[in-house]
């Protein structure tokens, strides 16, 4: 039987990566694409090589990325598809070491979609763009027949300027043994919120998505004199998948401590009910940040001074040696090897 | 978080571990029957807290893992019938059948929806009166009462377009069949959630006939270690007994309303367990009064000859005869993202748990 795309190819885990590699990378291959970073960092100068090779560039380096957003429901506590579409692209640029500058947005709208809903979604895009200090400079709309899309899909693309000394962040080229790993806040809020909304579960206190632009928080780090060695927002696949990707990219061993990882009690409760692991829940405004050990306390202070980093904390470190993997010291003293998300997390059967 | 943190307390966990080390002399083999136990043992690193001579074997308590391949074929065939909506727990979607899987059938256009309970399937049936809604009923005494509740509700409300393809099973005959079939065990770490429904009394027969200890455990590290400690003490004393290490949830008699629902809607029948073969009276079919809801009778479909994947040792893994890593397919090509056998598909499957937590 001929192979077809299945839903799991979009889970953000290993199967997504396999699809990207086998279908897309193999046919569109170039240095920037092959780096498999959240945003491509390329040179934009007259004498830059056609491949966008950064090392040959005389001056301007930009980061460029695109992200399609399909979320059910379109509106959820803490955000909506509009806010998500702005933040997702802004964050991919920002964690790649870029100052996000311009966005484009294209909308695929299902016939019959209420204009008032569209207005409110675009209003929240405008708010998120203001928060992120970015402008939406071009766009496109397509309307498809009823049933040909699920309400509204939004794709955003963005560019940003990569400042001097920051071109290695996306590729994690400066990550080294002894570096410490920080997160800016509690993990799993977005994934837990969406699971609860979809299944009609109310929590006390109520949950909200962490959906937010990280550019301001990251600017705060630069302002304090820190150049992180690596940053990545822990979206689909969660914290564990990002750590596995980093371990893989640089062939290093990463160790985190379960007790240090911030998880809200409500999110833990939702995870207990469904049998989810918070390490694999999606986030939309939570990132890991790897810094030199000597910079750790300054980085924590800088993050904590920003509203999105108030509970910033060190969760682990890059070890001196060991094979390429991410491991976790469990709260009861055991040791657990982390793996990339394989398939969506499913609610327990019993 | 109450009811969680106190059972993950480092000092409590380590004191239980120390007691096990101090009291355990004999080499023993214990089977954790339930897939949630298998996952918890991996996730918390419980093995690293036990002496080497205590062997933990993963048992047949993952509903997806013991579902025979012919059942997946049957579900795929019904999915291809006109006007059918298949409703299923998510774990079943990716289990490979002989020729296809529900995931592939869905990609080819079949209407297959993931639900979290049989009652969701009943809602879908009400919302789609022109379609036939088939619920894939899998699982043990934990899920069977919920399927029974949905069917009883459908009967009361006159909903006639919901059907169950039942692969529901009960635990006791399988636990007895394993021991009488030659699997050498000193004790069972008995499933906590099943026991909430059945009550602890169910295990008396296993203890009496099979000569193994039965201790019912919860799912937190302290629960599991306490159950192991109680089984160690039984073994050291040379005794076998039913004990409850999960008293905050499990009683001697279980849940009478859940038992009544099951007794009402289902009747025992022989069932094929993947890897274990046919076990008499270990399955649940629909009772005569409810057989109009039986998908087996409502659809006539051609089924391929059920074909187990070549080389797959799921069956032996389920009997504790081999470790997942002993299977030639484990890790390559059989992985959670590209599973060959059922034990790798379900997040509670033995192979998936080993892949996720033990792979160094």
Do A144 and A201 have their domain in common?
no
Asked if A200 reaches chain B (Cβ–Cβ under 8 Å), the answer is no
In a domain, B175, yes or no: yes
Do A224 and A308 have their domain in common?
yes
Do A127 and A205 have their domain in common?
no
Cβ A344–B90 below 8 Å, yes or no?
Answer: yes
**How does DSSP assign B38-90, residue by residue?**
HHHHHHHTGGGGS-TTEEEEEEEE-TTTTB-HHHHHHHHHHHTSTTEEEEE-G
Do B181 and B34 have their domain in common?
yes
Distance CA B317, CA B341 (A): 11
In a domain, A80, yes or no: yes
pLDDT reported for residue B236: 98
Do A153 and A243 have their domain in common?
no
Do B200 and B155 have their domain in common?
no
| Averaged pLDDT, B294-316 | 91
Percent of chain A with pLDDT over 70: 95
Distance from CA of A62 to the nearest CA of B (A): 35
Q: End of a domain among A132, A162, A192?
A: A162
Give residue-wise pLDDT tens across range A279-315: 999 999 999 999 999 999 999 999 999 999 999 999 9
Do B154 and B32 have their domain in common?
no
In a domain, A276, yes or no: yes
Do A153 and A76 have their domain in common?
yes
What's chain B's average pLDDT?
93
Q: Which residue has the higher pLDDT, A113 or A336?
A: A113
CB contact at 8 A, B360 and B45: no
Q: End of a domain among A128, A162, A196?
A: A162
Q: Which domain holds residue B336?
A: 314-357
pLDDT reported for residue A1: 43
- A199: chain B residues, CB-CB within 8 Å: 116
In a domain, A126, yes or no: yes
Describe the crossing of helices B10-23 and B221-237 by its angle, rounded to 10 degrees: 20
Do B144 and B201 have their domain in common?
no
| Averaged pLDDT, A98-123 | 98
Do B96 and B142 have their domain in common?
yes
Do A300 and A209 have their domain in common?
yes
Q: Which residue has the higher pLDDT, B310 or B357?
A: B310
Distance CA A214, CA A286 (A): 8
Q: Which residue has the higher pLDDT, B60 or B74?
A: B74
Q: Which residue has the higher pLDDT, A181 or A36?
A: A181
CB contact at 8 A, B242 and B204: yes
Q: End of a domain among B244, B274, B289?
A: B244
Do B97 and B240 have their domain in common?
no
Distance CA B28, CA B54 (A): 5
Distance from CA of B34 to the nearest CA of A (A): 10
> Which residues are within 8 A (CB) of B225 and not within 5 positions of it... i.e. 6 or more apart?
B13, B16, B17, B20, B46, B49
pLDDT reported for residue B270: 97
Q: Which domain holds residue A133?
A: 35-162
Dihedral (CA of B1, B2, B3, B5) sign: positive
Describe the crossing of helices B350-357 and B35-44 by its angle, rounded to 10 degrees: 10
Cβ B337–A269 below 8 Å, yes or no?
Answer: no
Distance from CA of A17 to the nearest CA of B (A): 11
pLDDT reported for residue B348: 79
| Sheet containing A135-144: order of strands | A40-43, A61-69, A152-162, A98-110, A135-144
Asked if A343 reaches chain B (Cβ–Cβ under 8 Å), the answer is yes
Distance CA B320, CA A281 (A): 32
Give residue-wise pLDDT tens across range A174-195: 999 999 999 999 999 999 999 9
CB contact at 8 A, B51 and B281: no
In a domain, B309, yes or no: no
B227, B222, B211: which is closest to B179 by C-alpha?
Answer: B211
With 0-12 / 13-18 / 19 or more C-beta atoms within 10 angstroms meaning exposed / middle / buried, residue A342 is buried
Distance CA A251, CA B203 (A): 50
Do A277 and A328 have their domain in common?
yes
Cβ B1–A265 below 8 Å, yes or no?
Answer: yes
Number of domains observed in the structure of chain B: 3
Residue A100's Cα: distance from chain center in Å? 15
The residues facing A76 across adjacent strands are A79
In a domain, A140, yes or no: yes
Distance from CA of A168 to the nearest CA of B (A): 30
Q: Which residue has the higher pLDDT, B349 or B293?
A: B293
Do B166 and B260 have their domain in common?
yes
SS3 A171: coil
Give residue-wise pLDDT tens across range B170-192: 999 999 999 998 889 999 999 99
Specify the DSSP class assigned to residue B100: -
pLDDT reported for residue B346: 78
A188, A333, A347, A316: which is closest to A246 by C-alpha?
Answer: A316
Q: Least CB-CB distance to B143: which of A330, A342, A350?
A: A350
**How does DSSP assign A114-137, residue by residue?**
-HHHHHHHHHHHHHHHHHHT-EEE
Distance CA B286, CA B15 (A): 48
Which secondary-structure segment (H or E) carries A244?
helix A238-250
B318, B275, B350: which is closest to B38 by C-alpha?
Answer: B350
Do A155 and A197 have their domain in common?
no
In a domain, B308, yes or no: no
In a domain, A18, yes or no: no
Tokens representing A171 are 């590729």
Distance from CA of A252 to the nearest CA of B (A): 14
Do B290 and B344 have their domain in common?
no
In a domain, A317, yes or no: yes
Q: End of a domain among A120, A136, A162?
A: A162
Do A202 and A267 have their domain in common?
yes
In a domain, B305, yes or no: no
Distance CA A207, CA A81 (A): 17
Which secondary-structure segment (H or E) carries A307?
none
| Averaged pLDDT, A220-237 | 96
Give residue-wise pLDDT tens across range B117-160: 999 999 999 999 999 999 999 999 999 999 999 999 999 999 99
| Contacts with A, B 277-306, CB within 8 Å | none
pLDDT reported for residue A59: 64
In a domain, A4, yes or no: no
| Contacts with A, B 178-197, CB within 8 Å | 193-194
A215, A157, A193, A204: which is closest to A75 by C-alpha?
Answer: A193
Do A116 and A265 have their domain in common?
no
pLDDT reported for residue A50: 60
* C-beta neighbour count of B341 within 10 angstroms: 29
- A13: chain B residues, CB-CB within 8 Å: 337
Cβ A334–B48 below 8 Å, yes or no?
Answer: yes
| Contacts with A, B 58-77, CB within 8 Å | 63-64
Asked if B108 reaches chain A (Cβ–Cβ under 8 Å), the answer is yes
Distance CA B165, CA B152 (A): 15
Lowest-confidence region among A149-153, A195-199, A333-337: A333-337
Number of domains observed in the structure of chain A: 2
| Averaged pLDDT, B42-68 | 90
pLDDT reported for residue B345: 79
Give residue-wise pLDDT tens across range B223-245: 999 999 999 999 999 999 999 99
- B49: chain A residues, CB-CB within 8 Å: 332-334
| Averaged pLDDT, A17-38 | 92
pLDDT reported for residue A279: 96
SS3 B207: helix
Do B183 and B157 have their domain in common?
no
Asked if A17 reaches chain B (Cβ–Cβ under 8 Å), the answer is no
Do B77 and B221 have their domain in common?
no
In a domain, B251, yes or no: no
SS3 A77: coil
Do A44 and A98 have their domain in common?
yes
Do B98 and B137 have their domain in common?
yes
Asked if A336 reaches chain B (Cβ–Cβ under 8 Å), the answer is yes
CB contact at 8 A, A311 and A262: yes
Do A145 and A193 have their domain in common?
no
What's chain A's average pLDDT?
92
In a domain, A283, yes or no: yes
SS3 B127: helix
Do B273 and B293 have their domain in common?
yes
A310, A299, A283: which is closest to A228 by C-alpha?
Answer: A299
Distance CA B221, CA B226 (A): 9
Please give the residue of chain A at the shortest CA–CA distance from B140: A350
């Amino acid at each position: 039987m001929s192979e077809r795309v299945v839903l799991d190819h979009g889970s953000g885990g290993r199967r997504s990566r396999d699809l990207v590699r086998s279908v897309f990378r193999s046919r569109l291959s170039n240095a920037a694409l092959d780096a498999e970073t959240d945003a491509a960092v390329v040179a934009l100068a007259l004498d830059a090589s056609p491949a966008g090779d950064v090392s040959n560039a005389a001056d301007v380096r930009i980061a460029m990325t695109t992200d399609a957003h399909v979320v059910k429901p379109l509106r959820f506590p803490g955000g909506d598809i509009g806010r998500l579409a702005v933040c997702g692209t802004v964050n991919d640029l920002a964690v790649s070491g870029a100052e996000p500058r311009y966005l484009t947005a294209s909308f695929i709208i299902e016939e019959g979609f209420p204009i008032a809903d569209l207005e409110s979604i675009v209003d929240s895009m405008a708010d998120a763009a203001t928060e992120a200090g970015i402008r939406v400079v071009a766009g496109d709309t397509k309307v498809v027949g009823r049933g040909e899309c699920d309400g509204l899909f939004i794709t955003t693309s963005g560019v940003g300027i990569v400042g001097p000394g920051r071109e290695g962040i996306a590729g994690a080229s400066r990550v080294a043994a002894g570096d410490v790993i920080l997160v800016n806040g509690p993990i799993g809020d977005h994934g837990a919120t969406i699971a609860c909304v979809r299944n009609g579960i109310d929590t006390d206190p109520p949950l909200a998505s962490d959906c937010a632009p990280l550019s301001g928080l990251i600017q705060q780090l630069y302002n304090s004199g820190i150049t992180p060695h690596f940053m990545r927002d822990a979206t689909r696949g969660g914290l564990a998948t990002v750590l596995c990707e980093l371990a893989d990219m640089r062939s290093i061993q990463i160790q985190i401590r379960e007790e240090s990882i911030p998880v809200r009690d409500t999110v833990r409760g939702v995870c207990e009910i469904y049998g989810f692991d918070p390490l694999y829940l999606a986030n939309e405004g939570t990132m890991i940040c790897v810094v030199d050990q000597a910079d750790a306390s300054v980085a924590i202070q800088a993050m904590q001074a920003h509203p999105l980093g108030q509970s910033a904390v060190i969760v682990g470190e890059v070890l001196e040696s060991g094979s390429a993997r991410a491991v976790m010291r469990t709260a009861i003293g055991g040791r657990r090897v982390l793996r990339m998300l394989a398939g969506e997390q499913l609610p327990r059967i019993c | 978080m109450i009811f969680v943190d106190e059972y993950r307390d480092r000092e409590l966990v380590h004191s239980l571990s120390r007691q096990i080390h101090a009291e355990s002399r004999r080499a023993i083999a214990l089977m954790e029957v339930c897939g949630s136990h298998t996952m918890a043992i991996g996730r918390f690193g419980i093995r690293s807290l036990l002496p080497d001579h205590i062997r933990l074997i993963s048992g047949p308590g993952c509903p997806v893992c013991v579902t025979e391949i012919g059942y997946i074929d049957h579900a795929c065939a019904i999915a291809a019938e006109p006007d059918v909506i298949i409703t299923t727990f998510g774990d079943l979607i990716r289990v490979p059948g002989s020729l296809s899987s529900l995931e592939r059938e869905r990609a080819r256009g079949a209407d297959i929806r993931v639900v979290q309970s049989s009652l969701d399937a009943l809602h879908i049936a009400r919302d789609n009166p022109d379609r036939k809604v088939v619920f894939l009923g899998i699982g043990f005494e934990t899920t069977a009462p919920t399927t029974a509740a949905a069917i009883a509700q459908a009967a009361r409300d006159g909903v006639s377009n919901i059907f169950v393809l039942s692969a529901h099973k009960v635990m006791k005959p399988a636990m007895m069949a394993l021991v009488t079939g030659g699997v050498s065990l000193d004790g069972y770490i008995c499933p906590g959630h099943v026991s909430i429904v059945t009550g602890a009394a169910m295990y008396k027969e296993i203890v009496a006939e099979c000569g193994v200890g039965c201790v019912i455990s919860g799912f937190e590290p302290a629960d599991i270690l306490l159950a192991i400690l109680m089984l160690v003490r039984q073994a050291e004393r040379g005794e076998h007994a039913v004990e409850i290490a999960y008293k905050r949830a499990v009683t001697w008699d279980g849940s009478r309303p859940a038992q009544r629902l099951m007794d009402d809607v289902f009747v025992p029948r022989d069932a094929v367990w993947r890897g274990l073969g046919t076990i008499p009276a270990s399955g649940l079919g629909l009772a005569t009064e409810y057989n109009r809801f039986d998908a087996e009778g409502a659809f006539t479909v051609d089924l391929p000859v059920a074909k187990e994947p070549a080389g797959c040792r799921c069956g032996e893994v389920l009997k504790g005869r081999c470790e997942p890593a002993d299977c030639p397919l484990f890790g390559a090509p059989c992985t959670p993202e590209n599973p060959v056998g059922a034990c790798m598909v379900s997040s509670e499957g033995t192979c998936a748990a080993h892949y996720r937590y033990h792979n160094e």
